[in-house]
Amino acid sequence: MAVAYPFSAIAGQEEMKLALTIAAVDPSVGGVLIFGDRGTGKSTAVRGLASLLPKMQAVEGCRYGCAPDRDTELCEPGCPKMQAGGGAVPTHETEVPVVDLPLGASEDRVVGALDLERALSHGEKHFEPGLLARAHRGFLYIDEVNLLEDHLVDVLLDVAASGENVVEREGLSVRHPARFVLVGSGNPEEGELRPQLLDRFGLSLEVETPTDLDTRIEVVRRRDAFDRDKQGFNKVWQDADDRLRQTILEAKQRLPETQVPDAALRRASEICIQLGTDGLRGELTLMRAARAAAAIDGDPEVTDTHLKRVARMALRHRLRRDPLDEAGSTTRVERVLSEIFDAEGEAGTARSGEAA
């Protein structure tokens, strides 16, 4: 197994690291899309996150890694939890899966298919799970996601919307759980992403090549040290990765208790209305991402600070094209944030002056 570059050792790219950490804390945020220049650490960050994730509990003997307290209705009849009829089942600790979906993968490889070897040798119809089954309760990573074939995009849209994979082919009728965090990366110069798939990503990032001299030097220095001695480099960063892993674990535990006050919901809706985002998915994602950010910070409730930190990544890909406004989507989000929060600050200053 290839040695992954430590997540904590990635220099710069703070927004990308925050977005991936948020997705690890709260998968309901809906996935992460990372677009940017080549060689900016997109794939490195995703693979580094895989080795950072805390382990999870899964049902012993289940092919899909079911959680002990979930997925009962969706799992196959052979799952020990289904056979237990709601009783206690043995569990084991396992790694959170991070599965690569290659661009050239066939549909059978992705969704699963008939096990031909078993069918020919034993005359039995047996389902061989695909990549979607392996990614259940984990992450499904697609590099160059904007080049993914349309028929695979359609499959991902169906599964992402329902949380289950349904296979009806070759005399098979199989339904199994397939809930995962979709992570995609790509270079926008090589083509755009289909709007239907773009909308399925909760967070979107625009990663650029660092222009700060010290940051560039540090990136090159660390990468060279890793390539020369991978094991030694990882030992140096082990403590930092352990601290971040503990932060993620504690944030997941705090998340159910982290409050989103009405004032924060009102502010989130105000931002989305001024930006003109379609539907209500923008507010939902903004609220969930801000709540995860608050849990990471150890704060009991969401504040304006958390909303401002995550608004760009939650909303930049949800804006309609405006032919009269040549500014990029990130600039438009920043402009609205400035208008709303600066206006609030000026109003507060005015009230203070009147009281004095």
CA angle 34, 36, 39 (to 5 degrees): 105
Q: Which residue(s) pair with 100 in the sheet?
A: 141
Q: 267 φ, ψ to 5°?
A: -65, -40
Q: For residues 238 and 254, give the distance between their C-alpha atoms in angstroms, rounded to a whole number.
A: 24
Q: How many CB atoms lie within 10 A of CB 86?
A: 8
The one catalytic residue among 63, 118, 175, 281: 281
Q: For residues 181 and 23, give the distance between their C-alpha atoms in angstroms, rounded to a whole number.
A: 7
Residue 278: what residue type?
Answer: D
Is 281 assigned a catalytic role? yes
Q: For residues 171 and 106, give the distance between their C-alpha atoms in angstroms, rounded to a whole number.
A: 19
Name the nearest CA neighbour of 188 among 204, 212, 211: 204
DSSP designation for 93: E
Active site residues: 281
